[in-house]
Copies of this chain bind each other. A is one copy, B any other.
């Protein structure tokens, strides 16, 4: 390539990386020759000499969980726009595999977006100290992170139910270890107290359809006239449980889901709390690329560590599974 164009390899290199250093005619000429020869800078060689891989990784507990694809999609899209490729890691919900994956990806990427990590805080913190890392939905001090603040949406949900006339609602919990679950539960309890209505909590459930279906009996027994579920999957399960009993939605029970996953694709359309999860993916990548930049500069002197913590708001999307409590005022 260099010889064909009659220049040195250094010049060819500069044409593609620092063209402003060269005379414009040189740049044009080399590019022409390159186009004819189909020459493209060798990515791996670039990576080796610059130390920048042009690759990030997105690590999630389970790709098949419908919560994650939008995040991944947005992350990949944004990374691609910035010239980065995206490696995908699936930890299979297993912390050991997650740690393993992190170690492997460490040397193959410029940085990692770690979604809903199950790893202990100090492990994550240690990793973040020497490699660019951004968390999604995990709140660890000292580590860059973007959190989906479902609390706002949950408060709206409670308000919505209170305004419809519900006096007793229940929160159907997700996994205890989940940061989101803790946040949502607290928000339900606090906002209910603020509105002067009763709120109870139904034990921990795995975020699965069957768990929701199984929870139905307990919900009905509690006397609540409305349920806020940890996520849409559980909410759908509750709908199934109600249908099996021949009970009507929302007359016999108002149901609110969370995450707005598929919620509009079922009947009746599920009232849910939409958190802008795809925005979380985009934002996380944005922050990560920022860190990657900073680290490159930090080598040159300044070490301007910041601790960004972005919280994305959420809001209630009222659809057809909520209404005034009609038949089941059994308590009174």
Contact = CB atoms under 8 A, between A and B. Distances in A.
B64 A70 contact: yes
A59 to B, nearest CB: 11
A44 B48 contact: yes
Contacts of A72: 63, 88
A70 B64 CA distance: 6
A266 B236 contact: yes
Interface stretch (A169-177, A222-230, A238-246): A238-246
A107 B40 contact: yes
A85 interface: yes
A276 interface: no
A86 B87 contact: yes
Interface in A252-270: 262, 264-269
Interface residues on A, range: 35 or more
A132 interface: no
A89 interface: yes
B90 A88 contact: no
A104 interface: yes
A237 interface: yes
A123 interface: no
Nearest to A70: B64
Contact of A87 (B64, B87, B101): B87
Interface string A43-85: 1110110000101001000111010111011001100100001
A233 B265 contact: yes
Given A85-B105, A240-B267, A267-B239, A69 B63 contact: yes
A204 to B, nearest CB: 20
A108 interface: yes
Most buried by B among A44, A209, A240: A44
A328 to B, nearest CB: 19
Contacts of A86: 87-88
A62 B73 CA distance: 8
A265 B257 CA distance: 14
Contacts of A63: 69, 72-73, 76
A44 B108 CA distance: 7
B267 A243 contact: yes
